[in-house]
């Protein structure tokens, strides 16, 4: 594509071929940018704003150079002022160091689908985090090794920053005789004068392992045998085969060494590996081929991955991780989908963009975001937008709503039992010593032929997978879980809730709930066997586990059957005594 130069003529902008600009009449001439040394500091600082992103860029450069093994060494103890990055790639000669490593923009890897790099500023990645760097690099069969010493652009004074970039001396280099094997080929970069952020990683184990955790999430590593991908494989084995094959194609062994351990190969970090990283419901596989058709161009972009509903929202995993060539580009992204923050935090997952991806136009200069104007991004976003909305609604909102509804139902039931117990505490006082023989039985009939309501069966009917267990329950007597392999919520119900009973004096009574008819008694007290039976279908109770109505109905029944003055005033006073306990 020919370049163009834009100039203003009155209120009109005109475009002309750059090659003809010098010959334009009317005194017109072409304009050119003047790059100054101060650009180095700003470009490196703003492009690589996190250590793990800078390390990712430097590691990818080694992979682009054909490396089959990479070592990242943080030194052997507290106070170390050097970080080493070494690869066994093809290496560079002096001209290659000048033309490739020291170039800014115009990367020879642009439009090369077999490479990660495309911008041509990778040499600045590590220099953001140290005052200087030394480089040793050698090509196979070369008798010499190139040694270079570069200075950090952040240390420039005002006069240096205003120098034209072509006149700025960024460092020195030389070729020296190599005493090893002619077949050796490598590049070693040693960063010295470390910044505070890097020193924290060197000196603090927590910061060091935190950095490794970040690198394991973003670098091109094999999928490994993670719990999540085993679960995804049960849902869609062909999808997992595709992702494993892609990851294997775009992976290189990367070892890390420090004072805390010997060189260790990094393994892939996947959601679900941590103790708090548990998903609810089923994983949703994503596998879609998007056909991009334009004049003279036909491409297929494949969107493959999964969505997960976090049972407990872990902020670092909220949102999707979007990967191109097995490298994380955008983390915690929703592809510009606006969603309720209450649900956004639970959405997690990974999306791989495979196939004929136009990486040059899709990925921004910082490699941590996508170009929203890219045709590939627009097409992928149009597909993923509705998918994310659907998953938010069906995979998260519906489950969360079920969880809230079920918790409310259990709490209503617990409140009912507590209210009944409160009334019976007052009844125990009135029974006194006679409590040894239990409460007097009701004389108002029976509930024969009515439907028994088992609390376990009741909660199963409202959408729960119920089990009865007293092991490890909180004080509320139940636990609600959103299991990873089923859409039904799991309710662990304590035995005191599954088979409720109360103590009246020295006598224990089983609480029984039945669904009789509106004309049958509301509450019955029985002594053979000892039961207190509630007719939830009676109008006084209203057909549900209603605490206040049920407790009031029980109070009314007890006021009739317990000893009292045999007149209306006595009955009224006793009823008031029961009601006062509610």
What is residue 154's DSSP assignment?
Answer: G
Contact present, 134 and 192 (Cβ < 8 Å) = yes
pLDDT of residue 121: 59
pLDDT of residue 178: 95
**Packing angle between helix 547-561 and helix 398-431, nearest 10 degrees?**
20
For CA atoms 460, 411, 502, 447, the dihedral sign is negative
Question: Does 394 map to a domain?
Answer: no
Question: Does 519 map to a domain?
Answer: yes
Q: If we measure between CA atoms, which residue out of 256, 248, 102, 219 comes closest to residue 170?
A: 102
Q: Write the pLDDT tens digit of every residue in 262-290.
A: 899 999 999 999 888 989 888 999 999 99
pLDDT of residue 504: 87
Contact present, 563 and 430 (Cβ < 8 Å) = yes
**Packing angle between helix 51-64 and helix 196-203, nearest 10 degrees?**
90
Give CA–CA dist 498/458, Å, rounded.
Answer: 10
Same-domain check for residues 83 and 188: yes
First-to-last C-alpha distance (Å) of the chain:
84
Secondary structure percentages of the chain, helix, strand, coil, to 5:
35, 30, 35
Strands 507-515 and 530-535: parallel
Contact present, 396 and 388 (Cβ < 8 Å) = no
pLDDT band of 185, cuts 50, 70, 90: very high
Task: Please spell the DSSP secondary structure of 339-379, one letter per residue.
Answer: --HHHHTTEEEEEEEEES--HHHHB-TTSSSB-TT-HHHHH
Contact present, 147 and 135 (Cβ < 8 Å) = yes
pLDDT at 71 over 80: yes
pLDDT at 372 over 90: yes
Range of lowest pLDDT (5-19, 61-75, 198-212): 5-19
pLDDT at 393 over 50: yes
Same-domain check for residues 245 and 274: yes
Range of lowest pLDDT (150-154, 222-226, 475-479, 542-546): 150-154
HSE (CB half, 13 Å, CA atoms) of 73? 17
What is the CB neighbour count within 10 angstroms for residue 130? 20
Q: Write the pLDDT tens digit of every residue in 514-540.
A: 999 999 999 999 988 999 999 999 999
Same-domain check for residues 10 and 57: no
Same-domain check for residues 80 and 170: yes
Q: Write the pLDDT tens digit of every residue in 1-14.
A: 333 333 333 343 43
Mean pLDDT of 98-112: 63
Question: Does 256 map to a domain?
Answer: no
Give CA–CA dist 570/564, Å, rounded.
Answer: 6
Give bridge partners of residue 258 from the DSSP assignment: 261
Domain count, the chain: 4
HSE (CB half, 13 Å, CA atoms) of 336? 12
Same-domain check for residues 148 and 71: yes
Q: Write the pLDDT tens digit of every residue in 450-500.
A: 889 999 999 988 878 999 999 989 999 999 887 665 567 889 999 999 999
What is residue 175's DSSP assignment?
Answer: E
Same-domain check for residues 359 and 417: no
Same-domain check for residues 138 and 8: no
pLDDT of residue 412: 93
Q: Write the pLDDT tens digit of every residue in 308-352.
A: 999 889 999 999 999 999 999 999 999 999 867 778 889 999 999
Query: Does residue 243 have a cis peptide bond before it, meaning omega lies within 30 degrees of 0?
Result: no
Domain containing residue 135: CATH number: 3.30.565.10
Beta strands in 238-378 (DSSP E): 254-258, 261-265, 279-294, 297-310, 319-324, 327-333, 347-355
Q: Is pTM beyond 0.85 here?
A: no
Contact present, 470 and 495 (Cβ < 8 Å) = yes
Range of the domain at 247: 224-251+270-373
Question: Does 489 map to a domain?
Answer: no
What is residue 260's DSSP assignment?
Answer: T
Same-domain check for residues 305 and 349: yes
What is the CB neighbour count within 10 angstroms for residue 65? 22
**Two tokens at 274?**
């941590």
Same-domain check for residues 188 and 295: no
How much of the chain exceeds pLDDT 90, in percent? 50
Contact present, 428 and 435 (Cβ < 8 Å) = yes
Selected residue with higher pLDDT from 356 and 33:
356
pLDDT at 239 over 90: yes
Q: If we measure between CA atoms, which residue out of 53, 8, 12, 42 comes closest to residue 28?
A: 8
**Two tokens at 18?**
């750059």
Best mean pLDDT range from 113-122, 444-453, 522-531, 558-567: 522-531
Same-domain check for residues 512 and 538: yes
Same-domain check for residues 234 and 190: no
Same-domain check for residues 189 and 244: no
pLDDT at 231 over 70: yes
**pLDDT, averaged across the chain:** 85
Give bridge partners of residue 467 from the DSSP assignment: 492
Question: Does 485 map to a domain?
Answer: no
Contact present, 367 and 421 (Cβ < 8 Å) = no
Question: Does 195 map to a domain?
Answer: yes
**Two tokens at 76?**
């052997």
Q: Write the pLDDT tens digit of every residue in 45-65.
A: 666 678 998 899 889 889 988
pLDDT at 395 over 90: no
Q: If we measure between CA atoms, which residue out of 522, 524, 525, 555 comes closest to residue 536?
A: 522
Q: If we measure between CA atoms, which residue out of 253, 219, 328 comes closest to residue 67?
A: 253
Question: Does 561 map to a domain?
Answer: yes
pLDDT at 511 over 60: yes
* Residue the block writes with tokens 């990242």: 72
Question: Does 262 map to a domain?
Answer: no
Alpha carbon dihedral 255, 261, 267, 273, in 10-degree steps, equals -160
pLDDT of residue 219: 95
pLDDT of residue 195: 87
Give bridge partners of residue 510 from the DSSP assignment: 501, 531
CA distances from 281 to 144, 407, 489, 573 (A): 60, 17, 8, 54
CA distances from 411 to 415, 416, 497, 546 (A): 6, 8, 11, 11
How much of the chain exceeds pLDDT 70, in percent? 86
């Amino acid at each position: 594509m020919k370049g163009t130069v834009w100039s203003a003529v009155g209120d009109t902008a005109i475009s002309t071929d750059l090659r003809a600009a010098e010959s334009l009449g009317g005194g017109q001439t072409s304009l050119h940018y003047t790059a100054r040394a101060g650009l180095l500091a700003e470009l490196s600082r703003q492009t690589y704003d996190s250590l793990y992103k800078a390390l990712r860029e430097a590691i990818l450069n080694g992979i682009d150079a054909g490396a089959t093994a990479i070592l990242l060494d943080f030194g052997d103890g507290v106070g170390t002022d050097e970080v080493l990055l070494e690869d066994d790639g093809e290496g560079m000669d002096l001209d290659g160091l000048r033309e490739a490593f020291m170039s800014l923009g115009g990367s020879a890897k642009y439009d090369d689908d077999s490479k990660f790099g495309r911008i041509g500023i990778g040499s600045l990645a590590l220099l953001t985090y140290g005052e200087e760097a030394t480089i040793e690099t050698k090509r196979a069969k070369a008798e010499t090794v190139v040694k270079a010493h570069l200075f950090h652009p952040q240390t420039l004074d005002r006069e240096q920053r205003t120098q034209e970039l072509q006149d700025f001396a960024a460092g020195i280099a030389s070729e020296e005789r190599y005493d090893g094997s002619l077949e050796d080929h490598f590049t070693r970069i040693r960063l010295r004068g470390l910044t505070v952020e890097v020193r924290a990683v060197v000196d603090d184990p927590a910061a060091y392992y935190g950095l490794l955790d970040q690198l394991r999430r973003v670098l091109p590593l094999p999928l490994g045998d993670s719990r999540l991908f085993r679960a995804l494989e049960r849902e869609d084995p062909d999808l997992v085969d595709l992702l494993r094959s892609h990851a294997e194609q775009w992976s290189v062994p990367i070892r890390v060494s420090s004072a805390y351990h010997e060189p260790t190969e990094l393994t892939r970090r996947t959601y679900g590996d941590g103790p708090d990283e548990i998903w609810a419901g089923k994983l949703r596989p994503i596998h879609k081929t998007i056909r991009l058709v334009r004049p003279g161009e036909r491409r297929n972009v494949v969107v493959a991955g999964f969505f997960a509903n976090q049972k407990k929202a872990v902020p670092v995993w909220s949102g999707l991780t979007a990967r191109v060539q097995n490298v994380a580009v955008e983390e915690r992204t929703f592809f510009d989908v606006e969603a309720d923050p209450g649900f956004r935090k639970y959405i997690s997952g990974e999306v791989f963009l495979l196939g004929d991806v136009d990486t040059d136009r899709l990925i921004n200069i910082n490699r941590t975001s996508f170009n929203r104007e890219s045709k590939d991004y627009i097409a992928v976003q149009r597909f993923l937008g509705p998918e994310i909305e659907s998953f938010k609604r069906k995979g998260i909102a519906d489950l969360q709503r079920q969880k809230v509804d079920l918790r409310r139902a259990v709490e209503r039931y617990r409140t009912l039992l507590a209210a009944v117990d409160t009334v019976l505490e007052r009844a125990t006082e009135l029974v006194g010593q006679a409590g040894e023989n239990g409460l007097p039985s009701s004389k108002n009939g029976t509930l024969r032929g009515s439907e028994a309501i088992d609390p376990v069966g009741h909660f199963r009917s409202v959408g729960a997978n119920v089990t009865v267990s007293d092991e490890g329950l909180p004080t509320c007597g139940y636990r609600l879980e959103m299991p990873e392999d089923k859409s039904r919520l799991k309710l662990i119900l304590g035995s005191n809730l599954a088979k409720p009973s109360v103590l009246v004096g020295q006598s224990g009574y089983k609480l029984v709930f039945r669904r009789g008819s509106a004309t049958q008694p509301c509450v019955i007290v029985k002594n053979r066997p000892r039961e207190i039976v509630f007719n939830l279908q009676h109008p006084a109770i209203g057909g549900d586990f209603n605490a206040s109505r049920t407790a009031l109905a029980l109070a009314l029944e007890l006021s009739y059957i317990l000893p009292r003055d045999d007149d209306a005033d006595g009955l009224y006073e006793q009823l008031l005594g029961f009601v006062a306990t509610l």
